[in-house]
Amino acid sequence: MGIIDGKKIAAELRAEVAEKVAGCARAPHLAVIVVGDDPASAVYVRNKARACESTGIRNTTIALPAETSEAELLAAIAGLNADDAVDGILVQLPLPKHISEERVIASIALEKDVDGFHPGNVAALFQKRPCTVPCTPKGIMKLLEAYGVEPKGKRAVVIGRSLIVGLPVAKLLLDANATVTICHTRTADLAAVTREADIIVAATGHSGTLRGDMVREGAVVIDVGINRAPDGTLCGDVVFDDVAPKASLITPVPGGVGPMTIACLLENTLDLYLKRYQ
């Protein structure tokens, strides 16, 4: 069994980004909007700001109160869209219930959509046109590549069908010529499906989703989940100690997919900057 060291691969990518940023005429600029005071969002936003600093990317975090109206949020985004000094815009999800995430994401200028969630980018990904690829799926593919996992001809199972993780990672695996199955809460016999897989991506948000008896010897297991165990520690969707002895490669939580998501966000910011000035 080998552990996929997401921290190491992410550090390498960050160093590459930092080197390219140093050669830019001005620092690429990422603007992050956070609405309300969700503690998990606050941690993510702080981590993103720190990561920007460490690579020379300029970061502006705009913190709006929970009672911000949708119109006020759309106006803030319109301001950033029009601001020539801003290259990437990220709206931290989830948003308060009274605001439509769909409308907000669609209002971000396509050329500044650093998360790749804009309908224009989603369509481009599914039509295999150039686009901004969402950070977590992109990071997962980079981890597989770094560890020499070739998806071509392999059976890949993605557990989860969200627009943010499950669907785009399934599409990227398909584009890499894996035979892909997407599972969800209505999948009849999840274990029977996962047992057939060479590559499993678990992205459910529920600890204990993937146990050792659901995995065949030698499978590659990517754990996207970020959950809190009853004792307060961070854990993934995969029962690590149970699955790891059977897996040929496995990502830990923390230290697997998470650092890659942030490193890919930095890379996407740089790429949007470069595209604007090409």
Report, as residue numbers or ranges, the catalytic residues: 48, 92, 115
Tell me the site size for ligand NDP, rule CB under 6 A. Answer: 26
Instruction: Please state the closest distance from residue 215 (CB atom) to ligand NDP, in A.
Output: 14
- Site for ligand NDP contains 185 (CB under 6 A): yes
The DSSP string of 231-244 is: TS-EE-SB-HHHHT
Q: Which of 88, 151, 166, 168 binds ligand NDP (CB under 6 A)?
A: 166
Spatial separation of the C-alpha atoms in residues 121 and 186, rounded to whole Å? 28
Question: Smaller CB distance to ligand NDP: residue 165 or 219?
Answer: 165
Query: Using the rule CB under 6 A, is 261 a contact of ligand NDP?
Result: yes
HSE-CB at 176 with a 13 A cutoff on CA atoms is: 23
User: In terms of DSSP H, where are the helices of 34-165?
Assistant: 39-55, 70-82, 101-107, 119-126, 135-146
180 within 8 A of 170, measured Cβ to Cβ: yes
Neighbours of 81 (CB within 10 A): 15
Contact 211, 240 (CB under 8 A): no
Residue 184 in the binding site for ligand NDP (CB under 6 A): yes
Among 71, 186, 230, 241, binds ligand NDP (CB under 6 A): 186
Half-sphere exposure of 204 (CA within 13 A, CB side): 23
Closest approach, Cβ 210 to ligand NDP, in A, equals: 9
Query: Quick one: 103 exposed, middle or buried, by C-beta within 10 A (0-12, 13-18, 19+)?
Result: exposed
Minimum CB distance to ligand NDP smaller for 145 or for 150: 145
Examine residue 251 and tell whether it contacts ligand NDP (CB under 6 A). no
Looking at beta carbons only, is 28 or 259 nearer to ligand NDP?
A: 259
Single residue of 133, 257, 263, 264 touching ligand NDP by CB under 6 A: 257
Q: Which residue in 54, 81, 162, 181 binds ligand NDP (CB under 6 A)?
A: 162
| Least distance CB 238 / ligand NDP (angstroms) | 11
Amino acid at 208: G
Site string for ligand NDP, 201-230 (x = CB under 6 A): --xxxx--x--------------xxxx---
Q: How far is the CB of 191 from ligand NDP (least distance, A)?
A: 10
How near is the Cβ of 161 to ligand NDP at its closest, in Å?
4
Nearer Cβ to ligand NDP, position 152 or 186? 186
CB of 119 to ligand NDP, least distance (A): 17
214-249 b/e (C-beta count within 10 Å ≥ 16 → b): bbeeebbbbbbbbbeeeeeeebbbbbbeebbebbeb
Residue 258 makes contact with ligand NDP by CB under 6 A: yes
Q: Does 158 bind ligand NDP (CB under 6 A)?
A: no
Backbone angles phi, psi at 89, to 5 degrees: -125, 130
CB-based burial label for 169 (10 Å; 0-12, 13-18, 19+): buried
183 backbone dihedrals φ, ψ, rounded to 5°: -110, 160
What residues line the site for ligand NDP (CB under 6 A)?
136, 159-162, 164-166, 183-187, 190, 203-206, 209, 224-227, 257-258, 261
